[in-house]
Structure 1
Amino acid sequence: MILNRRTFFLASVLILVTLPTFGQNTAPKAEANYPIVFVHGNGDDAAKWVGILWLFESNGYPKDRLYAIRFSNPAARTDDTKPEANRSSTVDAAAELSSIVTRVLLETHSSKVILVGSSRGGLTIRNYIQHGGGRNNVAAAILAGTPNHGVLVSTANPNGEFNGGGHYLQDLNQAGEDGNEVVAGVRFLTLRSDKLDKYAQPTGIASGAPQTSTGISFDGPALRGGTNLVLPNLDHRELAFAPAAFREMFRFVTGAEPKTLTVQPEPTVQISGVVTGFAGIAPTNLPLQGIHLKIFAVGKDGVGDAAPLYAVTTSADGQWGPFNASSTQEYCFDLEMEGRHVRYYKAPLPRSTALLNLRFAPVPRDTATRPAGAELLLISRPQGYFSRERDPVTVNGNPLSEEPQGLPVRDSFLTAVNGTKAVYVTLRGETIIAQPSNDLSKELPIIDFLW
């Protein structure tokens, strides 16, 4: 279990639609400075919250009251009752959250915390509040894109964590004496999409089975007794990590409108984090030892033959940094182990953070379908999903036919580019310069968008 604090993001304001709700969107003044603990989702990491943390900071929320959890094994079990290597049960996750909340309360001398969860993180929050004593420690809970009523309702695998007909969710959703699905004494806010959440679809379109009914509706994340808001045109991850989602979080926590929906740069930026990896196909947040990390400045022609600005070999804790960065400089984070390189190309980071997780990623599974010798890039968007019609990605100004289209369900894709020189990749006005590779088994270049 790793607990980190602080700081990411840029903005575009999306129109919000409010559904009829049972709750109030006004925060008691006493909550305005409660510590906030951000809880990531299935297979995710604390780094997902960097942008939201930066937005809270940019609006004056105290840095030392902002926390983000990094679960050791973030992926859920297939069957919650059966041990599965490098995966966590619902009890594992809630116990880890309970431990972290206790630590935050002790550290801050606060009487309560506010919990914000993305996807599976919201279910863990509910489990902790209902069964882990959390109702005494939590003032408010914000559940963003949480599949509160499941991803599907099925009689198969009744021990599946995301089965709306399974034991776990049936228990969490059992109505109280007041008929509500939320715990009395804790303010609840749910954020859901209108129709773009891949895990709140009436059919199996997100899994390639559009003719199959899931038993779930678009309003599956809503909870009786909570404040339930719709954020149109946002996908599953954007419900937690987009500026429009931040706006509703801030309003719910403080009772006031945020002054800005853009990250305010710091004059001095210091970054650090951890190197982690995968166990089979399951991502873990366990530290990797023996990774050689070098950080390079990226110019208009890429990295070239420039000397690294920072270099370290990770020890058992996987930690790296601090690195003093420029808020206007793009960097390449080069991970090397046994001759294989994974290179993350990131746009300039406007504020400090200790949360960056550089995963030593495996070779993409669809590499074999590419022509031999093709120059390739892996384009990644950790805080959202791709949809060509909604958010076209361009390379050197040209749209990409490989970008997924339709319902946004994928956060990365491979693309082939012409030549071996540096290329300019753009999404939503953010441009990253990178150098492609013709052998991803040796060199994997990853375009790592911030938002």
Structure 2
Amino acid sequence: MQSRRTLLAMAVIGTAATAMLTACATSSPAPSYAERPPIVFVHGNGDSAALWQTTVWRFESNGWPADRLFAFDQPNPLARDDDAVAQPGRSSTAESAAFLKAEVDKVLKATGAGKVVLIGNSRGGNTIRNYVQNGGGAAVVSHVVLGGNPAHGIWAVKGFRENNEFSGLSGFMQQLNAPKGPNGDEATPGVKWMTLRSDNNDKYAQPDGVWIGAPGKPTNIGFDGPALKGATNVVLPRVDHRETSFSPPAFAATWQFLTGQAPRSTDVAAQANVVLGGRVIGAENQALNGATVTVYAVDPTTGARLGSAALTQAIGADGRWGPFKARGDTAHEFVLATPGNGTTHIYRSPFPRSSNFVHLRPERITPADNGASSVVVFTRPRGYFDAQRDTMRFDGKSPPAGVPPKGAGVSTSRLRLEGGGAPRAVTGEFNGERVTGLTWPAATEHTTVLELTY
């Protein structure tokens, strides 16, 4: 697993090095360890801070101080259908930018720094651009890195949801991209900008509307939609939408942009003592007060529990769970019991480093699951499944159910087992990472989730 990721990162660095070194050649020398500025990571549409876990690990592994790396859960992270119309459980562009400003202000106060670095994925890039351009961020932000940001929209079709923030024709997007400065840049002057995009594998930067429910219809957005005039624009071959931020090549390009040097490694360095924690949250990133978290060490080949529970914790109003002292060589089962949402058994690979972003979300039984004896979900939060690019298998089947033969647009596969019987092991494999869990009875609202880390 690590070797494949390292080779891919090396290949990307090789193809992009000339452009990036040129961009960094005129910058000041790389800051010392003590001078590293705070970094604030901004997640995307419907996501949480948990997606930045491996990116934070890579920054720490290369010497960036852990106490200068910040990620937050935006309340109601989904964009409104119409940005000007209030919608329950969703946020406007103005609300999102105001949330970011408040978090940046907290970071500046806590660290005493004069400026921060902002790194955003997908919709997080819209939020960053809005804050920098319209919310005073230009005065306190030194660098911005945007991965997979729909900088010109996901579609630009007259009469089709034009006031959605992802429409290239929306007033929001038009004012963000209005020419600025003497060169007519789209990026706000005074801040150093970099965009990271796929060559042609980002589901939200496609000329065809297949991934927005309109196959065969033009979106009027090209593969280069995330690029910005006035930014250093880097292409990462074959990465998918999420990998533009969360992959080893994305980290390598970001480190180079911020420091003027290649990282020592894109691998995650193991720690001797691993402490885990996070939040228990629902779809709107609200805390699930009253839930219970139980953690077990499990056999990585069978999913069977190794002894009694290592942690049992009731969840309060803040949604926090932990701290939990884990072994970095041990796989775990996180049992999340939530009132009204059943019980979710989340199986994870060993954690090589500590993290405060091990967020737990319930997986619900759906009407389509009626009649199933067990339901197992195989999920990759930090990327998508690509049948043409990846080596993967779910319960012996390749590609997993629901994964299309072409394109990277699906990040989960759902298995509905029939017939009942005793619990059995189910394994999901992806490019060398292997997660095994046990089936649980769907009739009593138990589900199994095999969650990939990489």
* Counterpart AA for 1:105: L
Q: Which amino acid in structure 1 is aligned with residue 323 of structure 2? A: P
- Higher normalized helix content (fraction of residues): 2
CA spacing shift, 1:179–1:335, aligned 2, 3 Å: same
Say whether residues 1:389 and 2:388 are aligned partners: yes
Could you report, residue by residue, the CA deviation over 1:223-276 in whole angstroms, capped at 9, with x for unpaired residues?
A: 011100100110000000001100001001111110011000000000011101
Separation in structure 2 between the aligned mates of residue 440 and residue 102 of structure 1, nearest angstrom: 48
- Which amino acid in 2 is paired with 1:242? S
Is structure 2 residue 274 aligned with structure 1 residue 275? no
Aligned to 2:445: 442
Give the drift of 1:78: 0.8
Identity across the alignment (%): 37
Aligned partners of 1:166 and 1:328: how far apart in 2? 49
SS at 2:7 equivalent: coil
Distance 2:339 2:211 in 1: 37
Question: Relative to 1, partners in 2 of residues 1:61 and 1:109: Cα closer, same or farther, differing over 3 Å?
Answer: same
Matches of 2:22 and 2:112 in 1, distance apart?
28
Aligned to 1:101: 104
- 2: distance between equivalents of 1:416 and 1:247? 39
Moved more, 411-420 or 400-409: 411-420
Which residue of 2 is the match for residue 39 of structure 1? 42
Contact 2:374 2:447 in 1 (8 A): no
Tell me the alpha carbon deviations over residues 348-381 of structure 1, each in whole angstroms, 9 at most, x when there is no partner: 001001111101232256435xxx3454310110
Among candidates 207, 215, 220, match of residue 210 of structure 1: 215
Partner secondary structure for residue 285 of structure 1 = coil
Q: Is the 8 A contact 1:98 1:132 kept in 2?
A: yes
CA distance, structure 2, for counterparts of residue 361 and residue 395 of structure 1: 18
**Partner Cα distance (2:367, 2:242) in 1:** 23
> 2-side partners of 1:265 and 1:192: how far apart?
29
Q: Which of 184, 191, 197 in structure 2 is aligned with 1:179? A: 184
Letter paired with 1:410: V
Aligned residue in 2 for 1:5:
none
Using the alignment, how far apart are the partners of 2:391 and 2:402 within structure 1?
8
Do the aligned partners of 1:13 and 1:244 also contact (CA within 8 Å) in 2?
no
Note the 1:412-451 alignment, pairs <5 A. 412-416=412-416, 420-439=423-442, 442-451=445-454
User: How do residues 256-405 of structure 1 correspond to structure 2 at under 5 angstroms?
Assistant: 256-277=261-282, 283-299=283-299, 300-304=301-305, 306-338=307-339, 340-364=342-366, 366-368=368-370, 372-395=371-394, 398-405=397-404
**CA distance in structure 1 between the partners assigned to 2:103 and 2:407 by the alignment:** 36
- Contact 1:247/1:257 (CA < 8 Å) preserved in 2? yes
Q: Which residue of 2 aligns with 1:222?
A: 227
Point out the more displaced range, 418-427 or 187-196.
418-427
Q: Does 1:13 find its partner at 2:13?
A: no
TM-score (norm 1): 0.91
2:172 maps to a residue whose letter is Y
| Cα separation, 1, equivalents of 2:273 and 2:138 | 39
Which whole-Å CA distance do the structure 1 matches of 2:134 and 2:441 have between them? Answer: 52
Matches within 5 A, 1:66-85: 66-85=69-88
Mapped to 2, the partners of 1:244 and 1:250 lie a distance apart of 10
1:185 and 1:82 mapped to 2: Cα distance? 33
- Aligned-residue RMSD, C-alpha: 2.3
Query: Could you tell me which amino acid in structure 2 is paired with residue 309 of structure 1?
Result: A
Residue 3 of structure 1: aligned partner: none
Corresponding residue for residue 253 of structure 1: 258
Offset of 1:20 from its aligned partner? 6.9
**Residues 191, 239 of structure 1: 8 Å contact kept:** yes
CA distance in 1, matches of 2:188, 2:20: 16
Q: What aligned pairs does 1:158-173 form with structure 2 within 5 A after superposition?
A: 158-173=162-177
Amino acid at match of 2:360: L
CA distance in 1, matches of 2:167, 2:68: 34
What are the superposed Cα offsets for residues 319-358 of structure 1, whole Å, 9 maximum, x if unpaired?
1110000001000100113482111111000100111110
Residues 9-64 of structure 1 deviation map (CA, whole Å, 9 limit, x = unaligned): 99443232449799824553365611111100000000100100000000011111
Deviation at 1:76, TM superposition (A): 0.8
Equivalent position amino acid for 1:215 in 2: N
Q: Post-superposition shift, 1:426? A: 1.2
CA gap of 1:330–1:425, structure 2 versus 1, over 3 A, is: same
Give SS of 2:23's match: coil
Cα 1:353–1:440 change in 2 (3 A) is: farther
Q: Distance in 2 between matches of 1:42 and 1:114?
A: 20
CA displacement, residues 175-231 of structure 1 (integer Å, 9 cap, x when unaligned): 114211111111100000011100000010213433100010000000011100100
Aligned mates of 2:21, 2:177 — CA distance in 1: 16
The residue number in structure 2 matching 1:112 is 115
Which region of structure 1 is more displaced relative to structure 2, 72-81 or 440-449? 440-449
Give yes or no for the alignment of 1:200 onto 2:201. Answer: no
Q: Against the structure 1 CA distance between its residues 21 and 180, is the aligned structure 2 distance closer, same or farther, given a 3 Å change threshold?
A: farther
Residues 314 and 401 of structure 1, relative CA distance in 2, 3 Å threshold: closer
**AA of the residue aligned to 1:227:** T
**Given the superposition, is the C-alpha separation of residues 373 and 81 from structure 1 closer, same or farther in structure 2, using an over 3 Å criterion?**
closer
Change (3 A) 1:440 1:251: farther
Secondary structure of 1:444's aligned partner:
strand
List, as ranges, runs of 4+ consecutive aligned residues in structure 1 with deviation greater than 6 Å.
19-23
The structure showing larger relative contact order (alpha-carbon pairs under 8 Å, at least 6 residues apart) is 1
Q: How many residues are paired up?
A: 436
Q: Which amino acid aligns with 2:219?
A: T
